[in-house]
Amino acid sequence: MPIPPSSRFAGLPVLEVVAPDGSRRHVLGLRLHTTGTAGTETHRVRQGEQIDLIARRRLGDEQLWWRVLDVNPVRYPLDLTPGEQLRLPDPGQATRANRARSF
């Protein structure tokens, strides 16, 4: 299945790997650099704070946590440490509400 250009996975290499059962599978390669556009704001992580809460506050939707990670160095999302500084993405089209009709 082709990856659409608007996907967060667009541009990643597709690798062929051998599964434990000997079958061949296609997987996406890991992105090893930051992507997206970081805004001018940063956020200092507080005790017990998780990436989805930061995304909800900044972008209005906790399911956009990956956008916060995409503008920071590669990391596992649960490895946030209190006091750490994260760059924050600019809110974009994905967080804007558009009316389908006017009133």
CATH number assigned to the domain with residue range 38-92, chosen from the 4 options 1.10.1060, 3.10.350, 3.30.460, 3.40.50: 3.10.350
**Rounded Cα gap, residues 99 and 50, in angstroms:** 31
Q: What is the pLDDT confidence band of residue 93, given thresholds at 50, 70 and 90?
A: low
**Rounded Cα gap, residues 79 and 82, in angstroms:** 10
Query: Which residues are registered as beta bridge partners of 85?
Result: 44
**Rounded Cα gap, residues 5 and 40, in angstroms:** 26
pLDDT value at residue 27: 84
Indicate the helix (H) or strand (E) that contains 59. helix 51-59
Mean pLDDT to the nearest integer, 5-18: 79
Indicate if the pLDDT at residue 82 is higher than 80: yes
Indicate if the pLDDT at residue 88 is higher than 70: yes
Across all residues in the chain, what is the average pLDDT? Answer: 80
CB distance 17 to 27 below 8 Å: yes
Indicate if the pLDDT at residue 100 is higher than 80: no
Domain locations in the chain as residue ranges: 38-92
Model pLDDT for residues 33-43, shown as the tens digit of each residue: 555 567 788 99
Q: How many C-beta neighbours within 10 Å does residue 82 have?
A: 10
pLDDT exceeding 90 applies to what percent of the chain?
A: 27
CB distance 71 to 59 below 8 Å: no
